[in-house]
Amino acid sequence: MPSQSKHEWKEEDFEIGPMLGKGSFGKVYLARTKEHQYICALKCTSDKVPLNKVLRELRIQSKLRHPNVLRTLGCYEKDIHHKKRLVIIMEYAACGSLDQIMRHGEYSNGFEERIASNIIKQVMSAVDYCHDQNIIHRDIKLENVMVGYDGQIKVGDFGLAKFSLDWNETYCGTGEYMAPEFYKKERYDKSVDYWSVGILTYELLCGHTPFWRKEEQGISYGGLMLKRIINLEYEMPGHFSDDAQNFIKGFLQLKPQDRKSFKQALTHPWIINASEPKSTTVSDVTERQESLDGLMEKLSI
């Protein structure tokens, strides 16, 4: 990416391609810089998202420099329907999110353990780095873990992240991934991220979170799931290895102080024993994804 102040970027600097996704935050587009042909993603924020929240996310993510953290490269303003919108220039994760890979492919029932272990190793490395920068993520889930063109994991979406490792009280996150202390309306710290990674690990291995029940989908489901979370009621599928089960249990502890830290978990046998060369990591399961050249052909340029 060319070195340029965030105040210097403008819409005319980019060739903008297809929309990659949309949500409550706004829309994300594939793009390429005209001068250097650098491929990136443009996140056009919604006017429904408070500006202070957008600026907080931008401030946090601009501070981070880690190979497993989706990088924010700059921003600019644009007028849409006579309203100012902030457009955030981001690193492009060519293979999409883990959610897209699992929900729309042959991996809906989970990955094999060595691939899941490699993914979790990179997620822990990224979030542990964030903790070292005094940042709690607070929304680790499939949708927020991206995969780069070479299969490298990229943790993104810092919309709920916060500068503070001390006790917090704000209720936020995504239901199935939220630690018990959220539901009990207790103060919490960075250990809520440990819990979420435990949930994510379980999901990567079987395709659903530990407190989810297919047969209970309906109006009362949320309450039933909540009860199981605060009582730590879940079962390990029979195909999980002993190391995988032990690894997950290290994070899914009701008392925050009993949870393994990421630094401790990075030395766990399930992580160490599953280490593989890069060619046998998550890039294996994204080989059927569109190539970067194919994506850029959609730009018609």
Closest residue by Cα to residue 252 from 182, 201, 212? 201
What is 127-160 written as a DSSP string? HHHHHHTTEE----SGGGEEE-TTS-EEE---TT
Q: Angle 180-182-185 (CA atoms, 0-180°, nearest 5)? A: 110
Residue 139 annotated to the active site:
yes
Exposure on the CB side of residue 25, measured as CA atoms within 13 A: 21
Q: Give the span between the Cα atoms of 54 and 65, in whole angstroms.
A: 19
CA distances to 12, 59, 284 from 74, in Å: 15, 10, 31
- Residue 29 φ/ψ, nearest 5 degrees: -120, 145
> Measuring CA to CA, which residue among 147, 25, 152, 40 is closest to residue 97?
147
Choose the catalytic residue: 13, 128, 132, 139.
139
- CA 123/CA 8 separation, integer angstroms: 33
280 vs 214: CA distance, rounded Å? 32
| Whether the Cβ atoms of residue 228 and residue 211 lie closer than 8 Å to each other | yes
CA distance 99 to 208: 11
DSSP secondary structure code for residue 188 in this structure: B
Residues designated catalytic = 139
